[in-house]
Structure 1
Amino acid sequence: MRGPAARRMLVGARLRGLRERAGLSRERAGYAIRGSASKISRMELGRTSFARRDIADLLTLYGLPGGAEREELLRLAREANERAWWHRHGELIPAWTHRFLDLEETAREVRAYEPCQIPELLQTEEYTRASLAIRDGIREGGRRIEIDERAAVRRLRRRLFADDPGRTLTAVLDEAALRRHVGGPELIRDQLAHLAALAGTGRVELRIVPVGGRALPLPHGFSILSFAGGALPDVVYLEFLTTALYLDKPADVTAYAGAWDRLAAAALPPDAGRDLITDLLKRL
């Protein structure tokens, strides 16, 4: 499993399972590692780094003083503390996106809804730079290095997706996002051609909600990340201008999965979506 955040979630889930199997409370486990119930909760949710001594003491408390499973968990905990691929860009990308970058890399299936722009994994380099300038008010010559660094991160995300044939992306986007001339007609022409090429790969499915269609259930974009084998729960990611939300409670995930189904139902079939992109290209 890739990505420190995903590894922390996996280790945390395994620790929670062992604790519950041993019939121990979070308070008892926290006392054993000189901590508190809230620390155990953070560890089990994968929201903190792991000290080797803490993991070793908990495994002993949970009835794993030795053996292959103990060694595997100690290894996973060590790997969960390693730096992620995006670390060298970390100062210039928003802190609230760091966990998402790890989880996205690990996810086998991504379902993304975007009402205003092309999904980031499907953007061309030029579209990425133009959208960064618009959203964040970054202008050429003022904070050029910030555009370069953020664009580099998106480029690496696209490369990671392209290099892993086991990953898929289904994107629902509003037709208005295709018609919005971010960066000018020439740029959007290249972007639409790029979308048309990706839609024919078998790993990317585009579902376009036509202008004038029925009302949509949500005004904001979101992504649902699903992981292989059910090792981790689905995670819903919502990004705003200055923060982000990560939702993994079953009720929240179910609500967004339902919204996703309604969005997909409102969209054109994939073949009709590709025809729409072709038609838009002819008009440019």
Structure 2
Amino acid sequence: MKMRPTYTDSEDLGLVRQAHSPTVRRRRLAAELRRIREEKGLTIDQVAEQLDWHATKLSRFETGRRAVQPSDVRALLAVYEVQDRERDALLTLAREARQRGWWHAYGQAVPEWFEVYVGLESEASALHLYESEFVPGLLQTGDYIRAVHRAAQIRASEEEVDQRVMVRVARQKLLENDDPPHLWVIINEAAIRRPVGGVQVMRTQLEYLVQAATLPHVTLQVLPFSAGAHPAMGGGFHVLQFGPNDPDVVYIEYPTGTIYLEKQSEVERYTLMFNHLRAAALPTDSSGELIARVASELGK
């Protein structure tokens, strides 16, 4: 992505991205361990008893809620009698799952409840986002990011705001990868009309959106007021899509935390909602024209 906007005090982030997200690796390892146990016809209680573990420990391994030590994986694979290449591949996966993600370099600027999302986002093949109140983070300019954080983090110091801006800029490098995810964004018209950060900041943000929409891996639509009632009037959501080895995830954020939905029925419901929004939103060309028109009207 060659046309990134200029960001104050954030050009040299010293960022080294990992080739793979440890978050995604943990999910994949959890799924594989669960699959192997079920193929062997063993229950969680039976395996836990053989290893002298509490059943909760294994359950958390299989749901990805707890990191798995390579030594624990070896013990499980011995019980399951897994050998040779499959064993080596799973042990490699276990080691990769324990690596620290690039976001750990930013410390508390990335809250623990948000780390999972950043890890998933880093390796998604497609991101389908609906936002009702603001421009999605991956397409925000530096000044817009700062204004959003100042409004949301009422008690944050200027240093804390600066750190959060840098984290969001680091996340945006995802769109500059050689093989970036396909980003499909639907923005409520209210989000392009609310002058976040003031007239000049908002005009620059809207002009950047028009430019970003020309990228081959970015699709941008505006859901106009004229669409009336729609399925996502409760708020924004993200559908993160992966390859065949990793199930899709729905992400919903609220002021004090996040919700991750992974059940197939839940993901299908939000995928259907997104498809309805795509149909109700303006076509891409018309969306770009509306954004450009709103930008030109600002300050008049």
Q: Do they superpose with TM above 0.5?
A: yes
3-state SS, counterpart of residue 230 of structure 2: coil
For the 8 Å contact 1:105–1:161, the answer to whether it is kept is: no
Q: Which runs of 4+ in 1 moved over 4 A?
A: none
Correspondent of 1:110 among 112, 127, 136? 127
The Cα offsets for residues 56-77 of structure 1, whole Å up to 9 and x where unpaired, read as: 011111121x311111111110
Equivalent of 2:94 in 72, 77, 95: 77
The 8 Å contact of residues 184 and 218 in structure 2, kept in 1 or not, is answered as: yes
Among 202, 218, 221, which residue is 2:236 paired with? 221
Q: Which amino acid aligns with 2:241?
A: S
Identity %: 37
Which residue in 2 is equivalent to 1:119? 136
Q: Which amino acid aligns with 1:84?
A: G
Q: Which residue of the other structure, out of 195, 207, 225, is the alignment partner of 2:209?
A: 195
Give, in whole Å, the separation in 2 of the partners of 1:32 and 1:237.
Answer: 37
Deviations 1:18-60 (A, max 9, x none): 1111111111122233323322221112111112221001111
Q: Does 1:177 align with 2:177?
A: no
Q: 2:71 aligns with which of 42, 48, 53?
A: 53
Q: Quick check: 1:128 aligned with 2:145?
A: yes
Letter in 1 for 2:109: L
Give 2:84's aligned residue: 67
Aligned-residue offset at 1:190:
0.8
2:262 alignment partner in structure 1: 248
Tell me the residue number matched to 2:16: none
Report the secondary structure of 1:212's partner residue. helix
Instruction: Please report how far the alpha carbon of residue 225 of structure 1 lies from its aligned counterpart in structure 2 after TM superposition.
Output: 0.4
Q: What's 1:266 paired with?
A: 280
Which residue pairs with 2:6 in the alignment?
A: none
8 Å CA contact 2:126–2:242 kept in 1: the answer is yes
SS at match of 1:207: strand
* Separation of aligned partners in 2, 1:270 and 1:155: 25
CA RMSD of aligned residues (A): 1.4
Where do residues 23-34 of structure 1 align in structure 2 (5 Å cutoff)? 23-34=41-52
Which secondary structure does the structure 2 equivalent of 1:202 belong to?
A: coil
Aligned pairs, number: 279
The one of 271, 283, 289 equivalent to 1:275 is 289
Unaligned 5+ residue runs, structure 2? 1-18
SS in 1 for 2:159: helix
Contact 2:122 2:174 in 1 (8 A): yes
CA distance in 1, matches of 2:161, 2:231: 33
